[in-house]
Chain A
Amino acid sequence: MKRYVKITVIAALCLAMVITLSFIGCKKEEAEEGGMQVKTFENAGDITIGFSVWTMEFTFFQNVEKGVKDACEDLGFKYVMIDQNSDATKMVQDLNSFVGQGVSGIVVTPVDPGAIGPAVENARMAGIPVVCADIGKSGPVNALMISNNFKGGELAAEFLASKINDTSKPLGLGNLLPQWTYARQRGEGFLSKALELGYNVAANIIVQNPSAEGGYDTMQQILSAVPDVAGVYFTSGREAVGAAQAIQAAGKDIWSVGYNGDPEEFQAIKDGVLDATILQEPYYIGYRSVEILKEILLDGKFYENVEVPVDVKLITPENIDDIAAEILEKTGNSAFPAE
């Protein structure tokens, strides 16, 4: 038995030595200060854009992807895409793999904005600029396109207040899972505006099952917890559609607001199931991200940690047709579900 203890101790010591030596060995390459050396290009045809997307299961990200792809086509760039499958580890692997493939610029919609730091640093060391298309960032990137989620929440609160017009009536909030930190702003904007307008958000419940039927369940819980709730806001579209169905099933008259502006929300507003939603512009976010990369790579413009806020809009039955027409014109996509 003693022999094995000895072997283990020796192995552990060897390991410790290797770690220390290699760590000291690498210590000299300190990170360079201030920005990065971008590899610029003369011809658009030499440029490849790599896009790493959270998941292609959600409409929002599909639209970001469409924007990135269309922009690459319009500008004459080559385009490669990898799906993170909602897995942060795969995201980092993919980003590193982009560097190996020799892409010229990276657009990333990160599943975990806190987890892109080392991978982005790796890419930028190789002279590859990185633009985050929504969600968020950690550490330096060249640019971050970000939806104004806080304002979206505020708009939702303002809408409910204008419709209910009675501060004695309580409101309800259906939040996304806590690990999706980017969406927290949507709830916080709502809470702060509701407080400011004098409303009481009596129920703040997390949609445990992030899908339409999860919204349905959560709405039932809100109805039980606050029977006289007058208006609810769900921080994501599918959940809001499910919640609106639950309101109908319960036969109540409650104002409901969603978030995203996905086709099913447009349909639900048109059908009078949902009352309003907050429109984001995923297509523009994707398209503009590539344009920024073009400015960096071809025009030699300097971008470092530039935050580009992207506006959000309130969609109600009154303006839905105008906005749908606008979206169709801008993106070539119908805002409504395909038949």
Chain B
Amino acid sequence: MVKFLKLYEKIGIFILIVLAGIFLAIASPNFLKTDTILNIITQGTYGVIVSFGMVLAITSGGFDLSVDALVGLTSVFLSVLIPDIGIPGAIIVSLIISAFVGFLNGVIITKFGVNPLITTLSMATIVRGASLLIADGKQIPISVARFTVIGTGKLLGIPNPIWIMLVLFIIFYLLLYQSSLGRHISAVGSNENAARISGLNVTFVKIMVYVLVSLTASINGVIRTSQAMIGIPSMAPGFTLTVITITILGGTSLAGGRGNLIGAVFAGIFISMIYYGLNLVKVQYFYQLLSVGLVLLFALFVDGLRKRYLEAAKIKGIKV
């Protein structure tokens, strides 16, 4: 039992994916097709990419609500800059600008001691206002056709966003679990004071975290903009909530100190499956919302039971 529960912690969401897959395969003849499955995964990756950053933020005991605004900012900068300085230059500049916003978030949170929630929420308002000012409130179409390859192209038959997600996954995996920065992030998230006393540069660690979140948001912005081929200052409304849902469902503890990247990947795919799949079987939008909520509650209820069982097992002296 304990072994099973240990395994469940790692791949619990995966079980949900399989169950949902079986249900959809029976309910819709169009589900078990390469295109459909690749699309579902691709639509999951958008949230997953940003949730990599969010996992770091929550692991460090923080939070970032400015990611949707950064997607819009990136989109505006790309559409403005691509005609002038070309695609690679525009992407680099947008990433740098987003990273700078993340840096500002980090500085305000660490140096001015403002709560991360309020900082990033306010920053989201500021960034959205700034994007609108830069674009003068307009949508700016992008006419350089090559740009669309990033989001819509395929390599070896697999859409590019999935590749980008895989690369980012490897990077963030190494960063969180293998690098000293990752250990420091966990340490700061578990006990900030202890981390500070033991000589960690907490300020640096936190600023790095917010820079990384902003970068992931910006990368998502690049992908989305290249698909839509248009710069929209108010892009990705409500996206932050999706990212948070994925991160939490993926098993990252809100208490900080314990991040779960692989869980986030599965959670993102699962959420995408719910919306996409329920659209395939023509379930009304209202019931889609309801199922996301119920699944969230159910999955985390089961997770709570698992934890309680393990605690009880520990007390009884069963080796955990």
- Do A and B contact each other directly (Cβ–Cβ < 8 Å)? yes
A interface vs B, CB < 8 Å? Answer: 56-59, 62, 177-178, 203-206, 208-213, 215-217, 220-221, 223-225, 227, 238, 241-242, 245-246, 248-249, 262-264, 267-268, 271, 337-338
Report whether B236 and A211 are in contact in the complex, using a CB–CB cutoff of 8 Å. yes
Report whether A264 and B141 are in contact in the complex, using a CB–CB cutoff of 8 Å. yes
Instruction: Kindly state the separation between the CA atoms of A178 and B237 in the bound complex, as whole angstroms.
Output: 15
**A206 contacts across to B, CB distance below 8 A:** 285
Report whether B279 and A337 are in contact in the complex, using a CB–CB cutoff of 8 Å. no
**B314 contacts across to A, CB distance below 8 A:** none
* Nearest neighbor of A212 in chain B, beta-carbon distance: B228
10 A-B residue pairs with Cβ-Cβ distance under 8 Å, sorted by A, are A59-B138, A62-B138, A203-B279, A205-B279, A211-B237, A213-B235, A217-B43, A223-B35, A224-B36, A268-B141
Report whether B148 and A245 are in contact in the complex, using a CB–CB cutoff of 8 Å. yes
B interface vs A, CB < 8 Å? Answer: 28, 30-31, 33, 35-36, 39, 42-43, 132, 137-141, 143, 148, 152, 224-225, 227-230, 232-239, 275-276, 279-280, 282, 285-286, 288
Report whether A225 and B280 are in contact in the complex, using a CB–CB cutoff of 8 Å. yes
Instruction: Kindly state the separation between the CA atoms of A213 and B234 in the bound complex, as whole angstroms.
Output: 11
**B228 contacts across to A, CB distance below 8 A:** 211-213, 215-216, 238, 241-242, 245
* Nearest neighbor of B37 in chain A, beta-carbon distance: A224
Instruction: Kindly state the separation between the CA atoms of A210 and B35 in the bound complex, as whole angstroms.
Output: 24
Report whether A212 and B137 are in contact in the complex, using a CB–CB cutoff of 8 Å. no
Q: Given A209-B239, A213-B235, A224-B276: A263 and B138 within 8 A (CB)? A: yes
Report whether A178 and B286 are in contact in the complex, using a CB–CB cutoff of 8 Å. yes
Instruction: Kindly state the separation between the CA atoms of A216 and B139 in the bound complex, as whole angstroms.
Output: 16
Report whether B276 and A57 are in contact in the complex, using a CB–CB cutoff of 8 Å. no
**B234 contacts across to A, CB distance below 8 A:** 57-58, 211
Report whether A221 and B139 are in contact in the complex, using a CB–CB cutoff of 8 Å. no
**B238 contacts across to A, CB distance below 8 A:** 209
How many A-B pairs fall under 8 Å by CB? 112
**B39 contacts across to A, CB distance below 8 A:** 220-221, 223-224
How close is A121's CB to chain B, nearest CB, in angstroms? 32
Instruction: Kindly state the separation between the CA atoms of A205 and B234 in the bound complex, as whole angstroms.
Output: 22
How close is A245's CB to chain B, nearest CB, in angstroms? 5
Report whether B227 and A216 are in contact in the complex, using a CB–CB cutoff of 8 Å. yes
Among B138, B143, B236, the residue within 8 A (CB) of A338 is B138
Instruction: Kindly state the separation between the CA atoms of A234 and B13 in the bound complex, as whole angstroms.
Output: 34
**B33 contacts across to A, CB distance below 8 A:** 224
**A215 contacts across to B, CB distance below 8 A:** 228
Enumerate the 6 nearest inter-chain pairs by beta-carbon distance, A residue then B residue, closest first.
A212-B228, A249-B152, A213-B224, A224-B36, A206-B285, A242-B228
Instruction: Kindly state the separation between the CA atoms of A56 and B131 in the bound complex, as whole angstroms.
Output: 13
Instruction: Kindly state the separation between the CA atoms of A34 and B71 in the bound complex, as whole angstroms.
Output: 51
Instruction: Kindly state the separation between the CA atoms of A117 and B212 in the bound complex, as whole angstroms.
Output: 47
Among B141, B236, B275, the residue within 8 A (CB) of A213 is B236
Q: Given A212-B232, A213-B228, A221-B276: A249 and B148 within 8 A (CB)? A: yes
Instruction: Kindly state the separation between the CA atoms of A217 and B185 in the bound complex, as whole angstroms.
Output: 34
Among B232, B282, B285, the residue within 8 A (CB) of A211 is B232
How close is A145's CB to chain B, nearest CB, in angstroms? 22
- Add 15 more A-B contacts to A56-B132, A212-B228 (CB < 8 A): A59-B137, A62-B137, A204-B282, A209-B237, A209-B238, A211-B232, A212-B232, A213-B227, A223-B35, A238-B139, A241-B230, A263-B138, A264-B141, A267-B143, A337-B138
**A263 contacts across to B, CB distance below 8 A:** 138-139, 141
Instruction: Kindly state the separation between the CA atoms of A234 and B238 in the bound complex, as whole angstroms.
Output: 20
* Nearest neighbor of A175 in chain B, beta-carbon distance: B285
How close is B291's CB to chain A, nearest CB, in angstroms? 13
How close is B44's CB to chain A, nearest CB, in angstroms? 11
Report whether B152 and A245 are in contact in the complex, using a CB–CB cutoff of 8 Å. yes
* Nearest neighbor of B285 in chain A, beta-carbon distance: A206
